[in-house]
Amino acid sequence: MHAMAKKIANSLFLLLAALSFVATVQGQDQSAVDAVTNIKRTYKVYSRNWQGDPCAPIAYKWQGVDCTSFDGFLRITSLNLSSSGLTGHIAADISKLTMLESLDLSDNELSGTVPSFLAQLQSLEYLNLANNNLTGSVSNELLQKQSDGLLSLSVGRNPNLCASTACISQSNDTRKKDNNVVIAVVAPIAGILLLLVIIAAVIIFRRRKRYAAATNIILGKPRSSIKGSELESKQRQYSFNEVVEMTNNFDRILGRGGFGTVYHGFIEDIQVAVKMLSLSSVHGYQQFVAEVKLLMRVHHRNLTSLIGYCNEETNIGLIYEYMANGNLDEHLSGKNNRETSLNWEDRLRIALDAAQALEYLHNGCKPPIIHRDVKCTNILLNENFHGKLADFGLSKCFATDGDTHVSTIVAGTPGYLDPEYTTSNRLTEKSDVYSFGVVLLRIITGQAVIMVREDMIHHISQQVNSMVAEGDITKVVDSRLQGDFDNNSAWNAVEIAMASVSTISMERPYMSDIVKELKDCLAAELARKHNSCDLQNKDLVEQVSLNLISTDITPIAR
Ligand SMILES: *[C@@H]1O[C@H](CO)[C@@H](O)[C@H](O)[C@H]1NC(C)=O
Ligand SMILES: *[C@@H]1O[C@H](CO)[C@@H](O)[C@H](O)[C@H]1NC(C)=O
Ligand SMILES: *[C@@H]1O[C@H](CO)[C@@H](O)[C@H](O)[C@H]1NC(C)=O
């Protein structure tokens, strides 16, 4: 027992010793590398081969930089920036090159005074500042070193520089004795402290995660309280084990999307949809996490709420509120046994829901969020058939501008994709408007977005265009409605949709215009349904518009 304790104590001591050693050695080495990197930036040294590590590999060693190995570590011992067109002051970062033996800054246009730190460089044997425009005086310490034969000093051809002991030294060098000694003492202590801080952080973090798991029940009301974003975003992060538990080991698949598979799950007794992303589809991981944190703060009654996320190594998942009635596409096509026939009023309400969501993303968010993949399968329906837009804001994490072959696959869906995108290669708010127009055409007609007939590909907009020319609205609108809709309302909806799918983006309306028009369409349809009594009808229309106005928008805190 006693021997065991001693053994543990011994290994702990060794570990700490090793850690502090690493901290000392690498700390100094890194600060030197940082210093030359800063010097490079200060003097804009771009003409030379200053790329990568200054010392290694030897073949790519920075020109003008010499390194010598000490205790197995490469240190910068010589810096030659002679005739490099340097301007400005002598960079303070040079003071961090504590092992410097030779410094040549001659034949430049450096101005300002000769800094006092040059005298602090213990190993400096050669200092050439000749032919610059330095002012003031050379410090007594440097002159002393020179007269002691410790330093070869050249300061000639600086018209305004006084280099004799007769000058009163402008720099009082007696304050800081020896930086190296301080670093050597501080670094091991800092190493141990750092270790303790890390251990403490890990313990606190674990506790907080447990606490978060225990209090997840509040997540069932996603719109309740959104403040203290930093803390909340931590609480909304789930471990992979928690995800396995909430999905009952990925038991029930809800659907498959471009980025991964969606599973059914529970947090406490609240249903959720868990989308597991295929790792290969995640483009910039850091950007992805940043985006997720932002999206968790975007709230609107017509956007599916992002409840949380999981990012453990290769397991990346997004947890959304569960939408009981699947997506709009299923209802329009009768897929997946969704045989609910949506009437004209339902269709207009869902269209309006999606339009309001987009309007919010475009105008209510700063910076505006472009959805990039508006389509019927991304419009989800809850138990009351309220429409909510899904998958917003994420597509840009899966494609960057440089990667065109990826972006054509992911950003946008064939048939819904803005035709202007192929020429401009840029998706804008008006691209979302185009996609929304296609959604609206599909809602009105119930037809597929792309049809192949007689070996010809027909887009839904061409189909509708030719039917509109015939002037018979009943031929345009989905035949399953059996003419049970207000004609004016339907014509108006077709007009909005056709304007939205204009090939020229400038000619498309804004989402705010579309929202306004769709409200009129819905009001007209409601008026038809309740036209038995004019008075009652008027009340209803007013009530409806009131309901539509009161969307509970939470602006993003930035
Ligand atoms: C610095 O480089 C220049 C050429 O660029 C050379 O003439 C000079 O001797 C070098 N200085 C030292 C100290 O090696
Ligand atoms: C040198 O510096 C002085 C002021 O410090 C300035 O007037 C002069 O123009 C500078 N000379 C050159 C060649 O840059
Ligand atoms: C140097 O120190 C003296 C007093 O020791 C002080 O009067 C003077 O202002 C100091 N000079 C500078 C440049 O700090």
Contact 56, 74 (CB under 8 A): yes
Pocket test for ligand 2, best of 131, 133, 160 (most atoms within 8 A of CB): 133
Reduce the DSSP state of residue 60 to 3 states and report it. helix
DSSP state of 16: H
Average pLDDT, integer, range 444-472 = 89
Residue 555 reports pLDDT greater than 60: no
Q: Is the CB of 63 under 6 A from ligand 1?
A: no
C-beta 109 within 6 A of ligand 2: yes
Tell me: pLDDT of 72 over 70: no
172 lines ligand 3 (CB under 6 A): yes
Q: How far apart are CA 443 and CA 386, in angstroms?
A: 15
Ligand number nearest to the C-alpha of 63: 1
Q: Is pLDDT above 50 for 421?
A: yes
pLDDT at 520: 95
Residue 159 CA, closest ligand 2 atom number: 1
Instruction: Give me the chain's average pLDDT, please.
Output: 77
pLDDT band at 393 (very low <50, low <70, confident <90, very high): low
CATH code: domain of residue 299: 3.30.200.20
The set of residues, in sequence order, having a beta carbon less than 8 Å from that of 428 and lying 6+ positions away, is 370, 505
The continuous run of DSSP H or E covering 102 comes out as: strand 102-104
Least confident of 251-265, 352-366, 440-454: 251-265
* Protein residue whose Cα sits closest to atom 7 of ligand 2: 133
Does residue 178 sit in the same domain as residue 133?
no
Residue having the nearest C-alpha atom to atom 6 of ligand 2: 133
CA count, 13 A, side-chain hemisphere, 508: 24
402 and 475, same domain (yes or no): yes
Specify the residue with its C-alpha closest to ligand 2, atom 12.
Answer: 133
Is 9 domain-assigned? no
How high is the pLDDT of residue 12? 43
Question: Do 53 and 75 have their domain in common?
Answer: yes
79: domain CATH number is 3.80.10.10
Which residue's CA is the closest to the ligand 2 atom numbered 1? 133
**In the chain, what percentage of residues exceed pLDDT 90?**
35
Residue 554 lies in a domain: no
Asked whether residue 4 is assigned to any structural domain, the reply reads no
Confidence (pLDDT) at 445: 95
On whether residue 340 sits in a domain, the answer given is yes
Q: Is the pLDDT of residue 336 over 80?
A: no
Query: With 80 as the cut, is the pLDDT of residue 551 above it?
Result: no
- Residues 6 or more apart whose Cβ sits within 8 Å of residue 263: 247, 250, 251, 252, 253, 254, 273, 274, 275, 276
- Last residue of some domain: 118, 135, 163? 163
Annotated binding site for ATP: 275
Out of 218, 248, 282, a domain closes at 218
The mean per-residue pLDDT over the stretch 62-86 comes to 82
If asked whether residues 349 and 485 sit together in one domain, one would say yes
The reported pLDDT for the residue numbered 538 is 52
Residues 308 and 343 both lie in one domain: no
Cα-to-centroid distance, 175 and ligand 3 (Å): 11
Work out the burial of residue 214: count CB atoms within 10 Å of its CB; fewer than 13 is exposed, 13-18 middle, 19 or more buried: exposed
CA 133 – ligand 2 centroid, Å:
6
Q: For residue 121, how far is its CA from the centre of ligand 3 (angstroms)?
A: 22
pLDDT at 233: 45
Regarding whether 410 and 277 lie in a shared domain, the answer is no
pLDDT per residue as tens digits for the range 142-197? 988 888 888 999 998 898 888 776 664 444 444 433 444 455 556 667 778 888 88
Kindly state if the Cβ of 133 falls inside 6 Å of ligand 2.
Answer: yes
Which of 77, 82, 102 maximizes ligand 1 atoms within 8 Å of its Cβ, making it the mutation to test the pocket? 82
223-265: per-residue pLDDT in tens? 333 333 433 444 578 888 999 999 999 999 988 765 678 899 9
Which neighbouring-strand residues pair with 128? 104, 154
With respect to residue 543, please indicate whether it lies within any of the assigned structural domains.
no
Catalytic residues: 373
Same domain assignment for residues 438 and 462: yes
Check: CB of residue 390 under 8 Å from CB of residue 320.
yes
80 lines ligand 1 (CB under 6 A): yes
Strands annotated E in 214-352: 253-256, 260-267, 270-277, 306-312, 315-321
Rounded to an integer, the average pLDDT of 332-355 is 88
For residue 297, what is the DSSP state? T
Judge whether 556 lies within some domain. no
Residue 115 backbone class (left: φ over 0; alpha: ψ -120 to 50; beta: rest): beta
* Nearest ligand to the CA atom of 128: 1
* Same-domain pairing of 343 and 473: yes
Kindly state the average pLDDT of the residues 412-439: 87
Highest mean pLDDT among 138-152, 411-425, 490-504: 490-504
Ligand with the closest atom to the CA of 112: 2
Ligand 3 pocket mutation pick from 172, 173, 174, 175 by most atoms within 8 angstroms of CB: 172
* CATH number of 394's domain: 1.10.510.10
Q: Are 351 and 518 in contact (CB under 8 A)?
A: yes
**pLDDT score for 58:** 64
For residue 187, the CA-to-ligand 2 centroid distance in Å is 42
Tens of pLDDT, residues 502-518: 999 999 999 999 999 99
Lowest mean pLDDT among 116-125, 346-355, 416-425: 416-425
The answer to whether residues 335 and 455 belong to one domain is yes
The pLDDT of residue 220: 31
- Tokens 């003071």 belong to residue: 95
In terms of domains, do 79 and 210 share one? no
Averaged pLDDT, 116-123: 91
Ligand 1 within 6 A of CB of 382: no
How far is Cα 318 from Cα 307, in angstroms, rounded to an integer? Answer: 8
Regarding the beta carbon of 174 and ligand 3, being less than 6 Å apart is answered no
**Boundaries of domain holding 38:** 22-163
Atom 13 of ligand 1: nearest residue by CA position: 104
| Alpha carbon nearest to ligand 3 atom 1, residue | 172
Query: CA of 222: how far to CAs of 301, 303, 369, in Å?
Result: 10, 11, 20
Domains held by the chain: number: 4
| Whole-model pTM over 0.75 | no
558 located within any domain:
no
Q: Is the pLDDT of residue 84 over 90?
A: no
Which band of pLDDT confidence, cut at 50, 70 and 90, is reported for residue 281?
Answer: low
Which residue did the predictor score with more confidence, 90 or 257?
A: 90
Determine the pLDDT at residue 412. Answer: 65
- Whole-number Å distance between alpha carbons of 83 and 104: 9
Among 111-115, 266-270, 431-435, 506-510, the least confident range: 266-270
The pLDDT-based confidence of 439 (bands split at 50, 70, 90) is very high
3-state secondary structure 442-462: HHHHCCCCEEEECCEEEEHHH
User: What distances in angstroms separate CA 271 from CA 160, 221, 469, 486, one per listed residue?
Assistant: 78, 12, 47, 38
Closest-lying ligand 3 atom to the alpha carbon of residue 172: 1
The answer to whether residue 547 sits within a structural domain is: no
Which 8-state DSSP code applies to residue 303? B
Residue 518 CA to residue 497 CA, distance in Å, equals: 10
Same domain (yes/no): 144, 198: no
Q: Name the closest-CA residue to atom 9, ligand 2.
A: 133
Higher pLDDT, 336 or 344: 344
Same domain for 483 and 384: yes
> Six-digit token pair at 155?
């300061």
The average pLDDT across 66-75 equals 74
What is the structure's pLDDT at 257? 66
CA of 142 to the centre of ligand 2 (A): 24
